[in-house]
């Protein structure tokens, strides 16, 4: 039994179990390494940044730990043993800091808890210095509590599983310049001339490493800046011609958005594809380089010449006068049109140029480019060579895009309606048929004529859907009229693209079969240019139409360029003489000769002839004398909705019966 006055047994320092405690730091180190598994690898600059920050931190930590013991150099060996623990704490603290600096550990709760744990353990482990001096363990309750807090922080960090480390370019911020500069400054101050002590000799190594890393990082930063500048220059340059590219143009016009004052010329080469296909891409590249050099030589230094891609070039000029821009465009056109010698041949190219000027209505770079592109397209299709953008001629304007989108919804919701204009027998005046004319019953703008929406339908690919909607209504009306005892045919104009589209014709044949029509009740009007794009396909379609009992009429006859062989060989039942020949038949002998010849041709081939655009009785009488079969025009009736047509047909039929 112990005496109450007995003293506790004193344990000498270091105790035998001390090595087990030291071995625990191996586990701490393994935990810190494994805890960051799956993190992204830092680049060379990242490692240097981390090394600089860690080196500066090491200098501060070593000075803070070693300074209190600098006054007792006699106990070197005990001091070294006593400092193992705080130095290990500092080492592991630096490991955590390095992982966060290198973005291998998220800068946040867990990382800060780990760092705090090793700071607290380092403070507690300094108590062992006193043990080293006395040769036995001497620690108070405060240090015991501090150790407990340190280990609890380690347990807290270890019990929360590490999340997946996200690549540094996504969420993890890179260390800024200020921490790196501060770390390098600390290392430099550490090396300033001072009294040589053991502490200074220990700190000089990390300080030198830190400054060396800072020098390497500065050199790497300068190299990266040079590479970035070269990459920026390459990103703004066209590889083939050496001219600036679209990005350079966007930068120039984007920086000048508020001040305006720029005109843009968009050039598109005509005939370049043939050169590329015939002589090969190498020859085409040589032509593009030559053209680029000519364009650059034709403008002054204030202009930016850009290759946009393919055979398109652009010239941005600090000039907003359309007249002077047009003069420049013609100079450029003359330069481009000069012969280019390539592969021993001289080739000539033409160019179409669109001009746009920035104004308050131009929506940035994209708006200016779009306007120049529209003007260039109009210059190319109209063979004008050079055109300045005109909003009134812009078929691709925002308003027209709005119309196209509303038309798409209108087709789906049944807003497309069909009106009819009657045709009458030239001799008796009795109604013989009608021509279907499409209208759009717009919910806000009212009833719109074809000219208001057909261009948008063609441009946006809505013509097939529109054609199907019109055909469905016409076939439905024909079936209803037949059930009411009205025997007549209805003519529908079908554009060449829809005539040659298998899907549209297949739908038409299906609708005809379901309605029980096919005996000439429906007439498909086609224009002469329907035969130009694909003559063989047009012949097949027209023969298939005729085989199903659907008649075919050549609309606007005389205005196209088709061969008379089509009239001879194809099952065409009707010729419609265009109103441009009919309107002045009394005053233009040439037009009368064309009408007379057409009527004789129709009679000779057994075709029905129709004259459209008859505006008065005098013209109607002359056409009767020439032998036309049917008449159509405002003189007899204007286009009308189906509800009014039935009444008109009854009244017209009764009037012709009474007259006879």
Question: Tens digit of pLDDT for each residue in 581-618?
Answer: 898 899 889 989 999 999 999 898 899 999 999 999 99
The answer to whether the beta carbons of residues 471 and 507 sit under 8 Å apart is: yes
- Could you give phi then psi for residue 62, rounded to 5 degrees? -65, -40
Same domain? 375 vs 418: no
- Could you give phi then psi for residue 610, rounded to 5 degrees? -130, 130
Lowest mean pLDDT among 257-271, 292-306, 345-359, 500-514: 257-271
Alpha carbons 222 and 74: distance in angstroms, whole number: 49
The answer to whether the beta carbons of residues 25 and 69 sit under 8 Å apart is: no
How many angstroms separate the Cα of 597 from the Cα of each of 592, 604, 605, 627, 630? 9, 10, 12, 11, 16
On the CB side of 230, how many CA atoms lie within 13 Å of its CA?
Answer: 6
The answer to whether position 484 is within a domain reads yes
Checking if the pLDDT of 205 tops 50, the result is yes
- Could you give phi then psi for residue 602, rounded to 5 degrees? -65, -45
Confidence of residue 47 (pLDDT cuts 50, 70, 90): low
Do the strands 574-577 and 304-309 form a parallel or antiparallel pair, or are they unpaired?
unpaired
The answer to whether position 10 is within a domain reads no
Question: Would you state the pLDDT for residue 16?
Answer: 59
Same domain? 432 vs 292: no
Same domain? 501 vs 460: yes
Checking if the pLDDT of 76 tops 50, the result is no
Question: Would you state the pLDDT for residue 390?
Answer: 82
The answer to whether the beta carbons of residues 499 and 538 sit under 8 Å apart is: yes
Task: Tell how many helices (H) and how many strands (E) occur in the chain.
Answer: 26, 16
Identify the sign of the CA torsion 179, 182, 183, 184.
positive
Same domain? 135 vs 167: yes
Checking if the pLDDT of 228 tops 90, the result is no
* Residue 276's CATH number: 3.30.70.270
Alpha carbons 296 and 92: distance in angstroms, whole number: 64
* Residue 500's CATH number: 3.20.20.450
Q: Which residues pair with 475 in a beta bridge?
A: none
Confidence of residue 292 (pLDDT cuts 50, 70, 90): very high
Question: Would you state the pLDDT for residue 215?
Answer: 77
Instruction: Identify the residue with better confidence: 590 or 38.
Output: 590
The C-alpha angle 424, 426, 428, rounded to 5 degrees, equals 80
Question: Would you state the pLDDT for residue 619?
Answer: 93
Checking if the pLDDT of 43 tops 60, the result is no
The answer to whether position 104 is within a domain reads yes
Beta-carbon contacts of 223 under 8 Å, excluding residues fewer than 6 positions away, are none
- Could you give phi then psi for residue 13, rounded to 5 degrees? -105, 130
Q: Which residues pair with 448 in a beta bridge?
A: 440
Could you tell me the two tokens for 388? Answer: 């300045």
Same domain? 511 vs 550: yes
In the chain, pLDDT over 70 holds for what percent of residues? 72
* Domain limit, last residue, from 394, 420, 441: 394
* Domain limit, last residue, from 361, 394, 427: 394
Predicted confidence (pLDDT) per residue in 147-203, tens digit? 788 778 888 777 765 554 444 444 444 555 666 677 677 777 766 655 555 555 666
Could you tell me the two tokens for 293? Answer: 């050099």
Could you tell me the two tokens for 482? Answer: 């037949």
| 450: DSSP letter | G
Question: Would you state the pLDDT for residue 173?
Answer: 44
Burial, 619: exposed, middle or buried (Cβ in 10 Å; 0-12, 13-18, 19+)? buried
Could you tell me the two tokens for 394? Answer: 């812009």
Same domain? 379 vs 422: no
Residue with tokens 């306007």: 371
Same domain? 264 vs 141: no
Alpha carbons 56 and 386: distance in angstroms, whole number: 67
Checking if the pLDDT of 37 tops 70, the result is no
Checking if the pLDDT of 90 tops 70, the result is yes
Checking if the pLDDT of 138 tops 60, the result is no
Q: Across 8-12, 85-89, 116-120, 475-479, which has the greatest mean pLDDT?
A: 475-479
Checking if the pLDDT of 4 tops 50, the result is no
Crossing angle (nearest 10°) for helices 141-159 and 18-35: 30
Same domain? 371 vs 513: no
CA proximity to 312, closest of 357, 358, 351: 351
Same domain? 513 vs 630: yes
Instruction: Identify the residue with better confidence: 462 or 18.
Output: 462
Same domain? 316 vs 456: no
Looking at the structure of the chain, the number of domains it has is 3
The answer to whether position 523 is within a domain reads yes
Question: Would you state the pLDDT for residue 149?
Answer: 81
- Could you give phi then psi for residue 66, rounded to 5 degrees? -85, -25
Confidence of residue 488 (pLDDT cuts 50, 70, 90): confident
Query: In this structure, how many other beta carbons lie within 10 angstroms of the beta carbon of residue 207?
Result: 24
The answer to whether position 171 is within a domain reads yes
Alpha carbons 79 and 418: distance in angstroms, whole number: 105
CA proximity to 131, closest of 302, 15, 228: 15
Same domain? 96 vs 179: yes
Same domain? 446 vs 555: yes
Host H or E run for residue 134: helix 128-134
Alpha carbons 431 and 424: distance in angstroms, whole number: 4
Checking if the pLDDT of 19 tops 90, the result is no
Confidence of residue 281 (pLDDT cuts 50, 70, 90): confident
Confidence of residue 441 (pLDDT cuts 50, 70, 90): very high
Alpha carbons 373 and 338: distance in angstroms, whole number: 24
In the chain, pLDDT over 90 holds for what percent of residues? 24
Could you tell me the two tokens for 288? Answer: 């593009």
Could you tell me the two tokens for 196? Answer: 């040589």
Crossing angle (nearest 10°) for helices 44-66 and 177-190: 40
* Domain limit, last residue, from 344, 367, 394: 394
Q: Mean pLDDT, the chain, as a whole number?
A: 78
| 452: DSSP letter | G
Instruction: Identify the residue with better confidence: 7 or 343.
Output: 343
Alpha-carbon torsion angle 519, 524, 528, 531, nearest 10? -80
CA proximity to 430, closest of 474, 486, 479: 486
The C-alpha angle 130, 133, 135, rounded to 5 degrees, equals 100
Question: Would you state the pLDDT for residue 329?
Answer: 92
The answer to whether position 2 is within a domain reads no
The answer to whether position 657 is within a domain reads no
Please compute the mean of the pLDDT values over residues 250-264 and round it to a whole number.
69
Domain of residue 432 covers: 409-652
Question: Would you state the pLDDT for residue 527?
Answer: 81
Please compute the mean of the pLDDT values over residues 454-479 and round it to a whole number.
90
Alpha carbons 486 and 521: distance in angstroms, whole number: 11
Predicted confidence (pLDDT) per residue in 408-428, tens digit? 999 999 999 999 999 999 998
The answer to whether position 603 is within a domain reads yes
Residue 447 falls in which region: left (phi positive, over 0), alpha (psi -120 to 50) or beta: beta
Q: Which residues pair with 425 in a beta bridge?
A: 630
The answer to whether the beta carbons of residues 654 and 633 sit under 8 Å apart is: no
Host H or E run for residue 492: strand 489-493
Could you tell me the two tokens for 208? Answer: 């030198």
């Amino acid at each position: 039994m112990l005496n109450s006055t007995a003293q506790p047994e004193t344990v000498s320092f270091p105790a035998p179990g001390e090595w087990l405690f030291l071995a625990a730091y191996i586990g701490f180190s393994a935990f810190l390494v494994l805890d960051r598994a799956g993190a992204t690898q830092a680049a060379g600059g990242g490692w240097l940044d981390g090394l600089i920050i860690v080196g500066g931190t090491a200098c501060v930590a070593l000075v803070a730990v070693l300074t209190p013991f600098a006054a007792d150099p006699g106990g070197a060996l005990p001091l070294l043993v006593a400092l193992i623990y705080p130095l290990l704490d500092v080492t592991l603290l630096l490991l955590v800091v390095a992982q966060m600096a290198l973005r291998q550990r998220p800068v946040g709760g867990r990382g800060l808890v780990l760092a705090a744990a090793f700071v607290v353990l380092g403070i507690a482990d300094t108590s062992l210095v006193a043990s080293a001096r006395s040769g036995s363990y001497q620690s108070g309750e405060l240090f015991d509590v501090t150790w407990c807090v340190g280990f609890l922080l380690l347990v807290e960090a270890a019990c929360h599983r590490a999340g997946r480390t996200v690549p540094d370019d996504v969420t993890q911020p890179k260390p800024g310049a200020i921490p790196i500069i501060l770390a390098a400054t600390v290392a430099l101050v550490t090396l300033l001339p001072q009294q040589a002590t053991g502490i200074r000799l220990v700190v000089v190594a990390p300080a030198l490493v830190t400054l060396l890393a800072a020098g390497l990082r500065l050199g790497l930063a300068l190299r990266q800046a040079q590479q970035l500048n070269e990459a920026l220059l390459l990103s703004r340059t066209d590889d083939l011609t050496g001219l600036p590219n679209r990005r350079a143009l966007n930068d120039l016009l984007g920086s000048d958005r508020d001040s305006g004052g720029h005109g843009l010329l968009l050039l598109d080469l005509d005939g370049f594809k043939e050169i590329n296909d015939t002589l090969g891409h190498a020859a085409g590249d040589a032509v593009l380089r030559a053209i680029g050099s000519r364009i650059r030589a034709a403008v002054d230094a204030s202009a930016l010449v850009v290759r946009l891609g393919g055979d398109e070039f652009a010239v941005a000029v600090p000039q907003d006068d359309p007249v002077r821009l047009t003069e420049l465009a013609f100079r450029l056109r003359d330069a481009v049109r000069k012969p280019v010698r390539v592969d021993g041949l001289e080739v000539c190219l033409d160019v179409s140029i669109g001009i746009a000027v920035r104004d308050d209505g131009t929506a940035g770079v994209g708006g200016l480019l779009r306007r120049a592109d529209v003007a260039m397209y109009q210059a190319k299709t109209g063979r004008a060579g050079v055109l300045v953008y005109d909003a009134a001629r812009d078929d691709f304007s925002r308003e027209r895009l709005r119309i196209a989108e509303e038309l798409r919804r209108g087709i789906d919701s049944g807003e497309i309606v069909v009106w009819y204009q009657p045709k009458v027998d030239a001799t008796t005046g009795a109604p013989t048929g009608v021509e279907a004319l499409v209208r759009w019953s717009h919910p806000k703008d009212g009833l719109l004529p074809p000219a208001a929406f057909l261009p948008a339908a063609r441009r946006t690919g809505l013509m097939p859907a529109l054609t199907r909607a019109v055909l469905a209504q016409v076939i439905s009306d024909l079936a209803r009229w037949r059930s009411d005892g009205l025997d007549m045919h209805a003519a529908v104009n079908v554009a060449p693209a829809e005539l040659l589209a298998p899907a549209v014709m297949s739908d038409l044949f299906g609708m005809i079969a379901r309605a029980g029509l096919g005996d000439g009740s429906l007439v498909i009007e086609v224009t002469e240019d329907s035969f130009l794009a694909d003559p063989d396909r047009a012949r097949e379609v027209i023969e298939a139409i005729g085989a199903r009992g659907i008649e075919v009429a050549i609309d606007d006859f005389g205005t196209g360029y088709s061969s008379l062989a089509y009239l001879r060989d194809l099952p065409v039942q009707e010729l419609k003489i265009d109103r441009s020949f009919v309107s002045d038949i009394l005053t233009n002998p040439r037009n009368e000769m064309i009408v007379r010849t057409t009527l004789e041709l129709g009679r000779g081939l057994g075709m029905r002839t129709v004259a459209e655009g008859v505006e008065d009785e005098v013209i109607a009488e002359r056409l009767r004398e020439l032998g036309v079969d049917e008449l159509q025009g405002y003189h007899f009736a204007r286009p009308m909705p189906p509800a009014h047509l039935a009444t008109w047909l009854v009244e017209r039929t009764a009037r012709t019966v009474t007259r006879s």
